[in-house]
């Protein structure tokens, strides 16, 4: 496991078994699927934990002002993440800058 995600892994309860690390394209192209998936119990696995790397959040931020077709989808993805982070959703985790800098220092 990547050192930058080790901290995230340690704070997730042992009941959570499926970790999905999201990339920018999935958030833009399949957001509605992710919205449903975050609270969906998968038989034998439970509810998945969605992990959003710091670089993905940076990429979304950079893309929000591009062409209108892409920017509207990007803004929807940013809004979804903001809602999850603001409500401290238990299964949507964003990598922090500290976790990124800790991984660089290791």
pLDDT at 10: 44
pLDDT at 4: 46
- Residues in a beta bridge with 21: 51
pLDDT at 91: 94
- The gap from C-alpha 93 to its chain's centroid, in whole angstroms, comes to 6
Ranges of residues in the chain with a pLDDT under 50 are: 1-14
pLDDT at 27: 97
Complete DSSP assignment for 34-90: HHHHTTPPBTTTBS-EEEE-HHHHHHHHHHTTS-HHHHHHHHHHHHHHHHHHHTT-T
Evaluate whether 99 touches 4 at the Cβ level (below 8 Å).
yes
Domains, the chain, ranges and CATH? 3-98 (3.40.50.1010)
pLDDT at 104: 67
CA atoms of 14 and 21, how far apart (whole Å): 17
């Amino acid at each position: 496991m990547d050192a930058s995600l080790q901290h995230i892994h340690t704070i997730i309860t042992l009941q959570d078994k499926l970790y999905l690390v999201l990339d920018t394209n999935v958030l833009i192209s399949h957001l509605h699927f992710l919205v449903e998936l975050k609270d969906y119990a998968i038989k034998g696995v439970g509810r998945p934990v969605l992990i959003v790397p710091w670089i993905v959040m940076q990429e979304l931020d950079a893309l929000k002002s591009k062409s209108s077709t892409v920017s509207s989808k990007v803004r929807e993805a940013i809004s979804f993440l903001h809602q999850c982070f603001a409500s401290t959703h238990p299964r949507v985790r964003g990598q922090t800058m500290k976790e990124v800098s800790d991984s660089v220092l290791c």
